[in-house]
Structure 1
Amino acid sequence: MKRCAFLSMASLEQFVCYDELLYAPLQRYGWQTEVVDWRDHSIDWNQFDAVIIRSCWDYQHDPEQFLTVLDTIEHSTARLENPLNVVRWNLSKTYLRELEAKGIPIVPTAWLHGLELTALPTLFTRWQTDEIIIKPTVSANADDTFRLTPTALEQQFPHLQTLFHERDCMAQPFIPSIVTEGEFSLFFFGNEYSHTILKTPKSGDFRVQEEHGGHLQSVEPEAVLRELSRAALAAIPAPTLYARVDWVRTENGFALMELELIEPSLYFNRDATAAERFARVLNSRFRN
């Protein structure tokens, strides 16, 4: 029986995780699965045939150490999924600039290093918006993400300046459809489309994650979403086991929010065949 490690974090107590739905399908394909803490330096990665990055939802607090661990895994006999060069490319959201240059529509973005109060107010005028979003370029779980009006920006600026001091961050106009319609996530395993969900925030919030009260529903994506997603996937520097492509509707059409290739929740609970599909694709990739 082949051995597979799911790279996770020490405790998922504050999170919602569906990776256990993979255990039975993987077992049917001859895989024994074990969940391991990515911070556990005692692990011999050579004992595994594959190491799959799954619920490492604290990596953003120590991204360099995370990459060091992945480098160790990649230099073992285990196969790392997704591979290290993809993780390095996807770690900072600056990859969105590369996708935009290739014609993929993204939410308008200002790339910043630290924050200056004199520069930020001009963004409201530039984008003709009443609210902006500020967040780190390396982030997960909506950590350190702020939705700000001009007044809120002025009031919170001392805290923001301290938080983002000497730190790469990004600003975007707030897209109203995130709360009125939601965010679309399309899932691909290998080159195969799997399923789509629509994530909507709870009343009074803008964060769509379940941990923040977000609601999930399965939907059939519009044809243009599949086409745009495949165009985004074509820009990835190497083949991947899994990918999640997040979109939001704007007045100019759909815009890419994120291309998640490191540790996205894959929401196996929302599609009865998704876990089986994932296991089949993994098994197929391992034979190649």
Structure 2
Amino acid sequence: MKKCAILSMDSLAGFETSDSLLDQPMLALGWQTERVSWRKEQVNWSDYDVVLIRSPWDYQDDMAAFIKVLAKIEQSSARLENSLAVVNWNINKSYLKQLASQQVTIVPTLWPDKFDASDIPEYFQHFNSEQIVLKPRVSANADNTFWLKKANYTSNIAALQQAFAQRDLMVQPFMPAICQEGEFSLFYFNGQYSHAILKTPAPGDFRVQEEHGGVLLAITPEPELTRVADQTMQAIHQLHGDLLYARIDFVRFNTSFALMEAELIEPSLYFNMDEKSPQRFVDAFAQRLQTQAKNAVVLGSC
């Protein structure tokens, strides 16, 4: 029986996760799954054949320690999915600049060198918007994300100064389509499309996560969304090849869609929203390992 560590956090209380739906199809394939907190000390990662990064949703609180753990995993005999190289690229949202340079449409974004409250009026003016969003370049679960309105943003200055005292930030116009329609998430396993959902925030909010009251709906993406998503995945493929898992999030923008984020580290994959998706993931997992084993044999014979 092979062993797969599901990399998580000390406690998932208050969070929604569907990763347990992988247990049975993985077992049927001859894999034993075990939840392991990334903060657990003295783990022999070589005891596992594969480590899947799934729900370490507090890593942003101690990014250096998290990266150090992933480096230890890659130095062991276990295979890390997704890889440390992908994590290092994706952990800072400045990766969006690189995707934009490859003709991927992203939500319009400013990248200030540091937070300065006196610059906020210029942000409203730049986007010609009455509402903007400030968020860290390294974040999860919408932590330290601020929805500012021109009429009363000054009431948030103290909180903003505290949030961005030690964090790099990014600034975007508020996208009304998030509240009017929602955020679209498409899931790809080993480079192949699996399923899609629409996440709608609670009334008066803009955060679409379930933990913040967001509502989920399984959807079939319209052709334009599929086209844009496939284009985005092709751009990611050019940089990193096919990944075991990817979630890409979009908002309707003008006559098409704009990429909000490419989630390649620890995205919820919402296996509960498509009953066949756990098996698709496990099939992709098996195919990936088989391909890598064949490649290793070929290289070994050279």
TM over 0.5: yes
Select the residue among 271, 279, 282 that pairs with 2:282.
279
- Are 1:268 and 2:260 matched, yes or no? no
After the TM superposition, which of the residue ranges 251-260 and 170-179 deviates more from structure 2? 251-260
How far apart are the structure 1 equivalents of 2:139 and 2:99? 18
- C-alpha deviation, 1:252, in angstroms: 4.6
Q: Which residue of 2 aligns with 1:65?
A: 65
After the TM superposition, which of the residue ranges 152-161 and 194-203 deviates more from structure 2? 152-161
Amino acid at match of 1:219: I
Contact 1:29–1:280 (8 Å) recurs in 2: no
TM-score by length of 2: 0.93
- Are 1:205 and 2:218 matched, yes or no? no
Unaligned stretches of 5+ residues in structure 1: none
- C-alpha deviation, 1:139, in angstroms: 0.2
- C-alpha deviation, 1:89, in angstroms: 0.3
Select the residue among 239, 243, 247 that pairs with 1:244.
247
Q: Which residue of 2 aligns with 1:253?
A: 256
SS of alignment partner, residue 117 of structure 2:
coil
SS of alignment partner, residue 4 of structure 1:
strand
Contact 1:114–1:166 (8 Å) recurs in 2: no
How far apart are the structure 1 equivalents of 2:207 and 2:198? 13
Residue deviations 1:226-249 (CA, integer Å, cap 9, x gap): 222222222333231000010000
- C-alpha deviation, 1:116, in angstroms: 1.5
Q: Which residue of 1 aligns with 2:74?
A: 74
Amino acid at match of 2:243: T
Amino acid at match of 2:121: P
- C-alpha deviation, 1:120, in angstroms: 1.5
Unaligned stretches of 5+ residues in structure 2: 292-302
Q: Which residue of 2 aligns with 1:181?
A: 181
From the two aligned structures, give the one with the greater helix fraction.
Answer: 2
Residue deviations 1:184-221 (CA, integer Å, cap 9, x gap): 00000002110000000011111000000000000110
Q: Which residue of 1 aligns with 2:31?
A: 31
Amino acid at match of 2:284: V
Identity %, equivalent residues: 49
TM-score by length of 1: 0.97
Contact 2:106–2:260 (8 Å) recurs in 1: yes
Quote the RMSD (CA, aligned, Å).
1.1
Would the alpha carbon gap of residues 252 and 121 (structure 1) be closer, same or farther in structure 2, given more than 3 Å must change?
Answer: farther
How far apart are the structure 2 equivalents of 1:115 and 1:96? 19
- C-alpha deviation, 1:263, in angstroms: 0.3
- C-alpha deviation, 1:114, in angstroms: 2.8
How far apart are the structure 2 equivalents of 1:66 and 1:77? 19
